Amino acid sequence: MSRITIDKEKCKGCGLCVLACPKNLIVMSDEFNKKGYHPASFSSGEDCTGCGFCFQVCPDVVIEVFK
């Protein structure tokens, strides 16, 4: 089963990963990180294919993909 991790403290909440995920498994959190941003959050891992689109579009390189 594939999954991703997101470093929520480094995420600036741009939302590009949300748009890039073909399975809509990434959402923006309602909570704030220490820098005051709403970070992205991985909602579920069951349908994740490990495609890496989220990793590729992340300008801050805060996403890791595990297959």
Range of the domain at 18: 3-66
pLDDT band at 66 (very low <50, low <70, confident <90, very high): very high
Q: What is the CATH number of the domain that holds 9?
A: 3.30.70.20
pLDDT of residue 1: 84
The DSSP secondary-structure symbol of 66 reads E
For the chain, the domain total comes to 1
Neighbours of 52 (CB within 10 A): 14
Q: pLDDT per residue over 10-60, tens digit each?
A: 999 999 999 999 999 999 999 999 999 999 999 876 899 999 999 999 999
Residue bearing the bigger pLDDT, 35 or 1: 35
pLDDT of residue 44: 77
pLDDT of residue 42: 96
